Structure 1
Amino acid sequence: MGIAFSWFLLSLILFFSIDPILSTNGNPDLIQQTCKNTKYYDLCVSSLKSDSSSPKADIKGLALIMVKVGMANATATNTYLSSQMLSVRNDTVMKKVMKECADKYGFANDALQSSVQDLSAEFYDYAYMHVMAAADYPNSCHNAFKRYPGLIYPPELAVREDGLKHICDVVLGIIDALGFDGDHYL
């Protein structure tokens, strides 16, 4: 009975020490604490502070905000690529590659939308998987340019690719803070 009570006491201590981190409404330090778990701290902090709902969000809410930032990036890139297709009407290869890239960013947006549903349902492992997929779709776009010798990967697209990957890395870091223990989610 002593061991069981010790485990109970330890569990209780852990619960109360973790609970303030997971659900602190209005904690101004929560954004900084959360962003410390990410690969791109400055991007995380600036993105979250720019959203008016972040001061009242818990960690899951912060993850959802960052996913929406990623969705906005993917949508903007899809729109950019679609507009670029109009300027390369006579170049069928470039138009084909731009269309493929636009589709990939559309798929990235879809994957991020799926992660919103997963986060809301607290299926963190699935959310993680969808965010990883969203981060990988720009690679397919980059590879499409490599398939055609002479096509140059536009610098503007490279910047957008890095942006989406960095946003996804931030989301993955936040999801890690929600309960990932290295092998599976708690």
Structure 2
Amino acid sequence: METLKALFFLLPLALSLILLNFNTPCEATEAVTKSPISTPTRAPTRVPTRAPTRVPTRTPTGAATRAPTGAATTAPHVDLITTACKRSVFKALCLNTLRSDTKSSKADLKGLAAIAIQNTVAVATNTSNHITVLLNATPTKNNLLNATSTRKNLGHPNAKATTTPGAADPFTHRCLSGCSKDYANVINQLNGSLAALGAGKYNDANLALSAAMATVELCEEGFSSQPGHFSVLKDINSKFNQLCSNALAITTHLAGSSV
């Protein structure tokens, strides 16, 4: 009897131990099945997305955008003078006139046109003064020597004395009187051209320069109206017309580019 009681007491304990052994492998297998699922899902998603996005974007753009602009700004100003004289008939004189003026180094195309006109005004003023000297000279053969000396001072080193009558000749005197008035008009016309240029009225500047050239041509034609006489202002008038022509070429360029 005692033995049966002991068996009835131990039987539930044995059953509970058997049930406990069956439950633990399931929990272990659940632990094993969960660990491989959670670990591989994160690592591959972030690594390739960052490193390539920033490194290539800065260095090429900064280097590429600045180098060409610096190279463009270093173009020599002499190129603008060449452009200004490109349409001139007397290119060598145009280049020499602009390059010899210190203001040309900082001038734009409009400024170069003003410099060309100002040089023409200076020649016109010197010529007007030269005519006054000839008109006021004593009517003797010394007039020719005085005329030759003055022409050398105006930039004509090859000027030579001649036996052709100078201001002492009444006809030549009349021609010089007419030229004196002509050059007074020329100076006014050139100043009008400068004013029109400053106001941006390039066509008006062209008209004034053309009128100045026509006026000097009238002065020159006066000497040839009587056979046997020559113009004592021929070289000076020719130099003036060349300078005026160069200035007109630049203002014409400006007029064309402003259309």
Do both share a fold (TM > 0.5)?
Answer: yes
The structure 2 residue matched to 1:106, chosen from 180, 184, 199, is: 184
Q: Which stretch of the first structure deviates more once superposed, 29-38 or 64-73?
A: 29-38
Check the 8 A contact 2:220/2:231 in 1, yes or no.
yes
1:15 is aligned to: none
**Identity percentage of aligned residues:** 27
Distance 2:229 2:252 in 1: 38
Structure 1 residue 103: Cα displacement: 1.3
User: Equivalent residues in 2 for 1:84-95 (5 A)?
Assistant: 84-87=134-137, 89=139, 91-95=169-173
Q: Secondary structure, in 3 states, of the residue corresponding to 2:231?
A: coil
Distance 1:119 1:96 in 2: 35
Distance 1:165 1:42 in 2: 14
1:33 is aligned to: 83
Q: Secondary structure, in 3 states, of the residue corresponding to 2:136?
A: helix
Which stretches in structure 2 are left out of the alignment for 5+ residues?
A: 1-74, 140-167
Check the 8 A contact 2:123/2:240 in 1, yes or no.
yes
Normalising to structure 1: TM-score of the pair? 0.77
Pair 113,167 (structure 1): closer, same or farther in 2 beyond 3 Å: same
Q: Report Cα offsets for 1:103-122 as digits up to 9, x if no partner.
A: 11121111110000000001
Check the 8 A contact 2:203/2:252 in 1, yes or no.
no
1:135 aligns with 2:213: yes
Q: Report Cα offsets for 1:107-159 as digits up to 9, x if no partner.
A: 111111000000000101110000001111111112222334443222xx111
The structure 1 residue matched to 2:97, chosen from 47, 51, 68, is: 47
Distance 2:231 2:252 in 1: 33
Structure 1 residue 74: Cα displacement: 0.7
Give the residue type in structure 2 aligned to 1:104: D
Q: Secondary structure, in 3 states, of the residue corresponding to 2:78?
A: coil
2:252 is aligned to: 176
User: Equivalent residues in 2 for 1:121-160 (5 A)?
Assistant: 121-154=199-232, 157-160=233-236
The structure 1 residue matched to 2:243, chosen from 144, 162, 167, is: 167
Aligned residues: 158
Higher relative contact order (CA 8 A, sep 6+): 1
2:14 is aligned to: none
Q: Secondary structure, in 3 states, of the residue corresponding to 2:184?
A: helix
Moved over 6 A (4+): none
Distance 1:136 1:36 in 2: 23
The structure 2 residue matched to 1:117, chosen from 173, 195, 210, is: 195
Larger radius of gyration: 2
Structure 1 residue 88: Cα displacement: 5.5
Check the 8 A contact 1:26/1:57 in 2, yes or no.
no
Which stretches in structure 1 are left out of the alignment for 5+ residues?
A: 1-24
Give the residue type in structure 2 aligned to 1:122: G
Distance 1:145 1:37 in 2: 31
1:68 aligns with 2:118: yes
Give the residue type in structure 1 aligned to 2:181: D
Q: Secondary structure, in 3 states, of the residue corresponding to 2:256?
A: coil
Check the 8 A contact 1:88/1:95 in 2, yes or no.
no
